Structure 1
Amino acid sequence: MKPTLEQNKLIYIQIAETIESDILKDILLEEEQVPSTNQFAKMLQINPATAAKGVNVLVDEGILYKKRGIGMFVAKGAKEVVLKKRQNTFMTEYLPKVWEEAKVLEISKDELMDMIQKITKEGKE
């Protein structure tokens, strides 16, 4: 779990998204300890407070929880929470942009659906 930091996105958001992705990919499992804020800070060469902010976002969302004196852990049901959150983001942020670009390019809904069918078939081969 060593994220590559993007310049145009807040670091603490990238930390939270990295943890979420690792939960979705089953790299981090329920009840498993996540790296400490100090480990994140050392790994990414950032301020520990920034790392803590990223982790605390997930605590506030119920994705992680703290065991006093031990560290942060993945909460039960975290994968489902992250999955629903990401699906909602996909629907509200990504798909509207795709549809707007399709309209600019004069791609009909049917043509767009055909394109999606094509890329999903190619991905299975």
Structure 2
Amino acid sequence: MKPIYVQISEWLENEILNESISADEKIYSQYQLAEMFNVNPATAGKGINLLADDNVLYKKRGLGMFVAADARKIILGKRKSSKLHSLVTELAQEAIQLQVEEEELVTMIRDMHQRIKEEQS
């Protein structure tokens, strides 16, 4: 299981990706997040700092933390490079063990991708 501060950071990322929180909008304070997640404010602050370190959030002195203009782009890039790479690696290893040929795997991925896009439309 992921540490709570990472879960908080990922929750905020999802809020940004879903556009529940927009660029240049103030995010929840560490105290609000601590109350929402029932954790110590320092833990919530650590989650916020992860995003600040990635330039997803920026601080306005005396006002709080705000979403950077290119936050969605940063999050998408980060997730593509880490999460998708991990998933694709696991998928490729499993396909090799199951003796699924490369073209068959590519076709399966392409078909599923198209189906999900159609369902979301």
Determine if the TM-score, normalized by the shorter chain, exceeds 0.5. Answer: yes
In structure 2, what is the equivalent of residue 10 of structure 1? 3
TM-score normalised per structure 1 = 0.87
Mind listing any 5+ residue stretches in structure 1 that lack a counterpart? Answer: 1-7
Unaligned runs of 5+ residues in structure 2 are: none
- Match 2:41 to one of 42, 48, 69: 48
Structure with higher helix content = 2
Aligned counterpart for 1:72 among listed residues 65, 71, 77: 65
Structure 2 counterpart of 1:60, from 53, 59, 65: 53
Q: TM-score, normalised by structure 2?
A: 0.90
Q: Report matched runs for 1:25-44 at 5 Å.
A: 25-44=18-37
What is the CA-CA distance between 1:90 and the residue it aligns to? 3.2
CA distance in 2, matches of 1:85, 1:36: 24
Q: In angstroms, what is the RMSD of aligned CA positions?
A: 1.3
Please list the CA deviations of residues 66-124 of structure 1 after superposition, one character each: whole Å capped at 9, or x if unmatched.
Answer: 11221110011111111111111134322111111111111111111111122123221
- Give the secondary structure class of the aligned counterpart of 1:73: strand
Q: Tell me, in whole angstroms, the C-alpha distance in 2 between the residues paired with 1:120 and 1:76.
A: 29
User: What number of residue pairs does the alignment pair up?
Assistant: 118
1:122 pairs with one of 97, 101, 115: 115
| Correspondence list, 1:90-109, <5 A | 90-109=83-102
What's the counterpart of residue 15 of structure 2? 22
Write the letter of the residue equivalent to 2:104.
Answer: E
Q: What percent identity do the matched residue pairs reach?
A: 40
Letter in 2 for 1:16: S
Structure 1, residues 44-75: CA drift from partner, whole Å, max 9, x if none?
11111000000001111111011122111001
